[in-house]
């Protein structure tokens, strides 16, 4: 088989495994992203996420991660449930980011990626490579854009015309050459809805996000107390934030995801502030046993609940 035939069969298998998109990019140093990352770090936009400055060379050059790397395969898997969007939109209860309501995406995508990697080995022969899902120094959105499966929007999320941004990205880095795809064009146009809607002004310029002011940072990554001046803006989010995605026009027409493991495991939307206030450690462990919410830890989640509690209690009282 020639390179085009091999590439076609890999994409065909990716779709069979449940990925909605698959694209190939030549492994190289991402010089433009290197400059952007250097500036972002020098301006302290990463807050307390010191790990973002680690392994800088590996972040911008996949050949440092996989010796002899020639191809970065980028894929995504949608978790979008339109009914969940509508339910959460109407609810006045505490909110958890929709991506975290199902099984931990790290496990779901890695299962699929390892299967695809083995398929590549059987198809091509003696090759080496690694799979990645948001847990190594890989600029996943940049590589996805390089591979043509989407463009990076003004809120810094990867956007796709069919699936919006409601998806998880994974990569396979191989030491084999494939037929490479071309980047797509930007379809954000003059829209600024994500910028206008961000309550903490974390999107300080189009395509630039101050991670240290993002609600997702406060409720997930930050280990210290959340600055009191941001408590009201946090409400009603107790884990993550979907505001800039909820208002994006591309997400209002996004296709529904098919992977059932990513569907919500429980009815989180109907749980009011009283429920979350009384949540104990045992209940937390049962609710989030296989969930990405574990990243915030029990104490972090309770801290978030305490931060938004006064505003939700007030709202609850006024609605009676």
Q: Could you please state the CATH topology (level 3) that the domain comprising 3-80+101-174 is classified under.
A: NADH Oxidase (3.40.109)
Give the separation between CA 304 and CA 218, rounded to whole angstroms: 8
Is the model's pLDDT at 81 over the cut of 80?
Answer: yes
Structure token pair of residue 11: 């994409």
User: Which two tokens mark 266?
Assistant: 């429980």
Domain boundaries, the chain: 3-80+101-174, 193-254+265-318
Q: Give the residue numbers annotated as catalytic, written as ranges.
A: 134
Instruction: Quick: pLDDT tens for 224-277.
Output: 999 999 999 999 999 999 999 999 999 999 999 999 999 999 999 999 999 999
Query: Cα separations (Å) of 155 from 47, 141, 207, 247?
Result: 18, 12, 6, 11
Question: Residue 320's pLDDT band (boundaries 50, 70, 90)?
Answer: low
Q: Rounded to two decimals, what is the model's pTM? A: 0.95
**Of the listed ranges 116-120, 150-154, 309-313, the one predicted with least confidence:** 309-313
Cα distance from N-terminal residue to C-terminal residue, the chain: 69
For the cut 80, the answer to whether the pLDDT of residue 318 exceeds it is: no
Share of the chain above pLDDT 90, in %: 94
């Amino acid at each position: 088989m020639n390179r085009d035939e091999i590439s076609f069969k890999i994409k065909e298998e990716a779709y069979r495994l449940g990925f909605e998109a698959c694209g190939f990019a030549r492994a190289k140093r991402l010089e433009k992203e290197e400059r952007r990352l250097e500036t972002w770090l020098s301006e302290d936009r990463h807050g307390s996420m010191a790990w973002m400055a680690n392994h800088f060379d590996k972040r911008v050059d996949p050949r440092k991660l996989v010796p002899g790397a020639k191809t970065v395969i980028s894929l995504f898997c949608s978790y979008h449930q339109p009914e969940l969007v509508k339910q959460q939109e109407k609810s006045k209860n505490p909110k958890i980011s929709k991506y975290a309501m199902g099984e931990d995406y790290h496990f779901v995508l890695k299962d699929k990626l390892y299967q695809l990697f083995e398929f590549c080995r059987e198809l091509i022969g003696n090759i080496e490579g690694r799979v990645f899902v948001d847990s190594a120094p890989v600029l996943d959105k940049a590589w996805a854009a390089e591979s043509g499966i989407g463009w990076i929007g003004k809120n810094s999320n990867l956007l796709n015309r069919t699936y919006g941004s409601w998806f998880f990205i994974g990569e396979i880095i191989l030491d084999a050459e494939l037929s490479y795809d071309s980047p797509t064009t930007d379809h954000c146009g003059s829209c600024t809805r994500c910028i206008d809607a961000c309550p903490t002004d974390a999107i300080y310029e189009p395509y630039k996000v101050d991670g240290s002011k993002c609600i997702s940072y406060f409720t997930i990554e930050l280990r210290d107390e959340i600055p009191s001046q941001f408590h009201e803006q946090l409400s009603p989010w107790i884990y993550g934030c979907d505001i800039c995605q909820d208002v994006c026009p591309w997400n209002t027409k996004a296709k529904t995801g098919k992977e059932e493991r990513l569907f919500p495991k429980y009815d989180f939307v109907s749980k009011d502030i009283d429920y979350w206030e009384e949540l104990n450690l045992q209940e937390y462990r049962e609710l989030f046993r296989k969930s990405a919410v574990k990243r915030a830890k029990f104490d972090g989640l309770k801290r978030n609940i305490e931060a938004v509690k006064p505003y939700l209690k007030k709202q609850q009282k006024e609605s009676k």
